[in-house]
Amino acid sequence: FISTGEKSGELIIKPVISKLKKKFKENLYITAMCGHYLKPSVDRQIIDSRDFGLIGFYEAVLKYRILKKKQTEVVHHLRKHRYDLVILVDYIGFNLQIGRAAKDIGIPVLLYVGPQIWAWKKNRIKSIPSCVDYLALILPFEETLYVDTPIFAKYVGNPLTENLPKNYDKKTVKWNYFQNGNQNKVISFLPGSRLSEIRSHIDTIFDCITELGIIYPHAKFIIALSDELDVTEEISESCRDLNQKNIDVILEVAKTHNVILGSDIVISCSGTASLEVALLKTPLIIFYKTSFISYLIFKTVSLVKFIGLPNLIMEEKVVPELVQNKFNTKNLTHETIKILESQEIRDSQIEAFNLIEKKLSGKNATDNVFKIIDKILLGSRF
């Protein structure tokens, strides 16, 4: 049984499933809680996870009854069918409860993408062994956190490094994709992968584009979205309003890598997208805004100085972060101009991004996760 909550989780487990099917053929039966992207790869989808567009603690409370009902459905299913393995992919708040129930039933549990315990009060790690038997970690510094626990925890590599474009020329991408020479700026925004994130960020983004459009009248502005989000018409209308003011802004759907490669700067919501930008060596600003209550809880329990993965991996501030009240039109416009006008800042970021790539290279996450699952299913010793 596989449980995912978001498309990002489906993307990284899908190639693992392909390898498992190739080996076990008709002797493998997979049931899942997943979205439409993973559905064709499994034998049965019991719950569609696309309804879970959450963002923070407070938002999860508001949808508590829905989430609890889905958890109950999954647990009932596990009790009825008794699987050989439960694989949880990210989506920690929901999936750890599934893991706990599965372990109580006696089913081994693998979690692919570890909980961000490095960001929380240290005692949170004590609850993890009651939910998980095996951990496939995607950040190199996480493995040592589990040395004193009974969990088999292994850094498998970062799956992002497997799916990014290689052997590209940024100038060529910029010209071919945008029909834009180097003399005109391409400024792109990644507002988030969840509907609630986009609604928290989009007004400030459009206000920033309006300001930057005055300063860079020949610039092209791009807003990049996932193909799963039902806000394209709403955002397209706002883009058309700015077009009427002679500001060249377009919406691109499901073309994130081309957008990143063809941009002079990407202004990205924190999360996986910000690490993609860093690995594709494009100057970057990270932002994030959630509800006041969610942010208050986060600040109360969090131990980390940063929220962006590039900064966390480097353990220093290599790109600007605009969080909560600091995420406003004035700050966003100022930071964007500062980076666009400074070759030194851009070079410094690219140098840091090269180091991040080096830290994450050398391991194939798909192969390593497959090997862990193979051993579990065959009953081999670790």
Q: Where are the domains of the chain?
A: 2-157+363-378, 170-360
Whether the per-residue pLDDT at 57 is higher than 60: the answer is no
More confident residue, 241 or 292: 241
Whether the per-residue pLDDT at 25 is higher than 90: the answer is yes
More confident residue, 181 or 231: 231
CA torsion, points 206, 208, 214, 220, in degrees to nearest 10? -70
Q: Which two tokens stand for residue 320?
A: 């600007």
In this prediction, residue 194 carries a pLDDT of: 82
The mean predicted confidence, pLDDT, of the chain is 90
Single-letter residue type at 330: K
Q: Hunting for tokens 């439409």 — which residue is that? A: 36
CATH of domain 2-157+363-378: 3.40.50.2000
Q: Give residue-wise pLDDT tens across range 319-342.
A: 999 999 999 999 999 999 999 999
pLDDT confidence bin for 105, thresholds 50/70/90: very high
**Is this structure's pTM higher than 0.85?**
yes
Whether the per-residue pLDDT at 282 is higher than 80: the answer is yes
The stretch 362-370 carries a mean pLDDT of 96
pLDDT-above-90 percentage for the chain: 70
Strands 109-112 and 2-4: unpaired
pLDDT confidence bin for 173, thresholds 50/70/90: confident
Cα separation, 211 vs 95, whole angstroms: 42
Domain 170-360 maps to which CATH number in 3.40.190.10, 3.40.50.2000, 3.40.710.10, 3.30.365.10? Answer: 3.40.50.2000
Whether the per-residue pLDDT at 295 is higher than 80: the answer is no
The answer for residues whose C-beta is within 8 angstroms of residue 18's C-beta and 6 or more apart is 41
Same topology between domain 2-157+363-378 and domain 170-360: yes
For the chain, the residue count is 382
Whether the per-residue pLDDT at 296 is higher than 80: the answer is no
Three-state secondary structure along the chain? Answer: CEEECCHHHHHHHHHHHHHHHHHHHHHCCCEEEECCCCHHHCCEEEEEHHHCCCCCHHHHHHCHHHHHHHHHHHHHHHHHHCCCCEEEECCHHHHHHHHHHHHHHCCCEEEECCCCHHHECHHHHHHHHHCCCEEEECCCCCHHHHCCCCCEEEECCCCHHHHCCCCCCHHHHHHHHHCCCCCCCEEEEECCCCHHHHHHHHHHHHHHHHHHHHHCCCCEEEEEECCCCCCHHHHHHHHHHHHCCCCEEEEEECCHHHHHHCCCEEEEECCHHHHHHHHCCCCEEEEECCCHHHHHHHHHHECCCCCCHHHHHHCCCCCCEEEHHHCCHHHHHHHHHHHHCCHHHHHHHHHHHHHHHHHHCCCCHHHHHHHHHHHHHHCCCC
Q: Give residue-wise pLDDT tens across range 78-93.
A: 999 989 999 999 988 8
